Structure 1
Amino acid sequence: MRDILGDLEAGRLLSDPDPVRRAQIQMKTPQPKRFYEKASVSPVPEGYAVHLDGKPVRTPGKALLALPTEAAANLVAEEFAAQGETIDPMAMPVLRLANTALDGVATDPQAVLEDVLRFASSDLLCYRADAPQGLVDRQNAQWDPVLDWVRSTLGARFNLAEGVVHVDQPRESIAVLGAHLAQRSEPLRLAAMHLMTSLSGSALLALAVEHGGLDAEEAWKAAHVDEDWQAEQWGQDSEALARRSLRERDFMAAARMLEALKA
């Protein structure tokens, strides 16, 4: 299922999970010239369809590119409108997310839901450092409030571990998250949550953002506590910074989509 959840770009190999690798592939692929003047949205029975010069856009799988809310469709239309003389799919994370949802997630939402739950069973926020104390304190400060929110709002308790030794999570907690996700199993919403989960390593952060318990910027910062600590001690790596920037762009696109689905 994670293969299906890659960017479905009609054989252009943009499904590589590493965003830097995707960018490298894209740079080697000739970009198509922009063939339209105006991007717009129009109501249809399925919701709101994205149009280019009045003609409906279709996904690589030939599905109508229609989104549930006008705000969500406008996010895609804005990406089309922002293109220059050529069309750069790498600069259109919302479009890629919509394509993934319609061509991939919609075919088997249960498998995607279960994949998010697998992340939750070994969630980033549950694995803590035992030293140095500065890192321990920072993890506690940024991760404990999220776990407290999950416990108080969703009724799910998670066990913590030091280091990387696996710790089992209560089956009841995973079941609670599963029931919560089942109420949010629309393809586009689930695709956005899955993307945020895979990029951050934390289903709990994605759930908190979707539910409104945490904003996207805070969640992204929380997902990189360890990385930021290491950078402060040893300095930044340019390639790592480039990879993080691309991942952050995709994460924030997913967060914008979740917000637009509420409109």
Structure 2
Amino acid sequence: MYLITRLKYIQRFTNNVQKKALSKYYFSTYSQQAQASEDNKTAAPNLERFWKASTVESCDEGFKVKIDTRYLKTTKGTPLIFSKNQEICAALVAAEWESQKKTISAHSLPLTSIVFRSVDGMSTQDERTKITNDLIKYFKTDTILFQNDYPEKLVDLQAKCWAPIIDWANEKFQVQINVFTSLFNTVQNKNAVDKLLEYSNGFSPLKLAALVEGRISVEEAAKAARIEAISQSKYWGSFENAHEMDEALLTRDLGAISCSLIES
């Protein structure tokens, strides 16, 4: 559900959330300044790893992630507490911090970013309603609903990767989502918009932050999000390492989304 919308939403918030979270924890602990990249003064700074170990500890409410002697907090300073059925998610967040090397980039904690966002920006129903009202606007112009009738390879990928998702949504919500091959007269079915909005308004904070329904696998989602690049590479070839790196990063981020909702 909302495949391309979900990717846009994640990409829009991930950099700022992770950079602020890391910077706040880093500065409050050691009062040091992060240095901007020498190659690009406007790039997000890389921070040096400042902890020795990250672990999970149980508490009355559930579980906490501990960074050395301090418990992990969100960007706004809210103590991060996982419920009793989120032990796996807590362990994965701890593992994400433990896996960091000498320096940490702004993109290296995707699961932490999702969890932070669910606590800091989606804890109240009013906040979640505002977000879903904004997100539904993207649904009306979602890339998956604007399809080409050429070249043949792209048309084939659309049929294999996109059509099953749309068919599933139509059946699940008993609607008819309009698909367009032109940028003109693109009015979306109001019933579909209303039902998707109503459904997403019932999401928990974490599910809304992840914005995932679980209809397809991580690998299938990564392929569906890249069909235009895949199609073009068949004609023009691919840049060595570049396309593989893009796919790996996308798969990693989608994997983090999927892992955020694992319950034990």
Normalising by the residue count of structure 1, what TM-score does the alignment of the two structures yield?
0.76
2:168 matched to 1:122? Answer: no
Name 2:70's counterpart in structure 1: 55
Name 1:18's counterpart in structure 2: none
2:183 matched to 1:180? Answer: no
Shift of residue 215, structure 1, vs aligned partner: 1.3
Higher RCO, 1 vs 2 (CA within 8 Å, ≥6 residues apart): 2
Letter in 1 for 2:258: A
Deviations 1:3-58 (A, max 9, x none): 99443233879xxxxxxx9xx7798735233323341132343x432123453211
The whole-number CA distance in structure 2 between the counterparts of 1:91 and 1:117 is: 28
Name 1:232's counterpart in structure 2: 234
- Equivalent residues, number: 234
The whole-number CA distance in structure 1 between the counterparts of 2:122 and 2:57 is: 23
Name 1:113's counterpart in structure 2: 132
Letter in 1 for 2:226: H
Name 1:223's counterpart in structure 2: 225
Deviations 1:66-120 (A, max 9, x none): 2341122111111122234555553221112222222223361112222331222
TM-aligned CA distance change 1:144 to 1:43, over 3 Å: same
Q: Does the 8 A contact of 1:40 with 1:54 survive in 2?
A: no
Letter in 1 for 2:58: S
Name 1:213's counterpart in structure 2: 215
Equivalent residue for 2:189, pick from 165, 170, 190: 170
2:41 matched to 1:41? Answer: no
Letter in 2 for 1:189: K
Letter in 1 for 2:82: L
Shift of residue 172, structure 1, vs aligned partner: 0.9
Structure 1 unmatched runs, 5+: 14-20, 194-205
Q: Give the 5 Å matches for 1:26-175.
A: 29-45=45-61, 47-53=62-68, 55-68=70-83, 69-88=86-105, 90-106=107-123, 108-165=127-184, 167-175=186-194
TM-aligned CA distance change 1:86 to 1:128, over 3 Å: closer
Secondary structure of the structure 2 residue equivalent to 1:40: strand
Q: Does the 8 A contact of 1:192 with 1:254 survive in 2?
A: yes
Name 1:248's counterpart in structure 2: 251
Secondary structure of the structure 1 residue equivalent to 2:186: coil
**Aligned Cα root-mean-square deviation (Å):** 3.1
Normalising by the residue count of structure 2, what TM-score does the alignment of the two structures yield?
0.76
Letter in 2 for 1:61: K
Name 1:10's counterpart in structure 2: 20
TM-aligned CA distance change 1:152 to 1:248, over 3 Å: same
Shift of residue 177, structure 1, vs aligned partner: 0.8
Structure 2 unmatched runs, 5+: 1-8, 24-36
Q: Does the 8 A contact of 2:57 with 2:66 survive in 1?
A: yes
The whole-number CA distance in structure 2 between the counterparts of 1:167 and 1:239 is: 37
Q: Does the 8 A contact of 2:45 with 2:105 survive in 1?
A: no
TM-aligned CA distance change 1:112 to 1:28, over 3 Å: closer
Letter in 1 for 2:52: Y
User: Percent identity between the aligned chains?
Assistant: 24
52-61 vs 216-225, which moves further: 52-61
Name 1:202's counterpart in structure 2: none
Shift of residue 137, structure 1, vs aligned partner: 2.4
The whole-number CA distance in structure 1 between the counterparts of 2:251 and 2:54 is: 28
Letter in 1 for 2:117: T
